[in-house]
Amino acid sequence: MSNKEIYDFSKDLLYQLELIILNIKNKLINYYKTKAPRL
């Protein structure tokens, strides 16, 4: 693998990871909105 391939691969991986984190964050926020007692 060339340096460019490795760079593109890691960039893609980071992008995927970011999407997963955002997804989990949204799920947590929605969960707390519905389940948490009103403060």
pLDDT digit of tens for each residue in the chain (39 aa)? 799 999 999 999 999 999 999 999 999 999 999 987 765
Q: Tell me the torsion sign for CA atoms 15, 19, 17, 25.
A: positive
For 34, the token pair is: 């519905």
pLDDT value at position 19?
A: 98
Q: State if pTM tops 0.85.
A: no
Per-residue CA distances from 11 to 2, 3, 18 (Å): 14, 12, 11
Residues 6+ apart with CB under 8 A from 1: 9
pLDDT value at position 35?
A: 86
Q: HSE-up of 26 (CA within 13 Å, CB side)?
A: 6
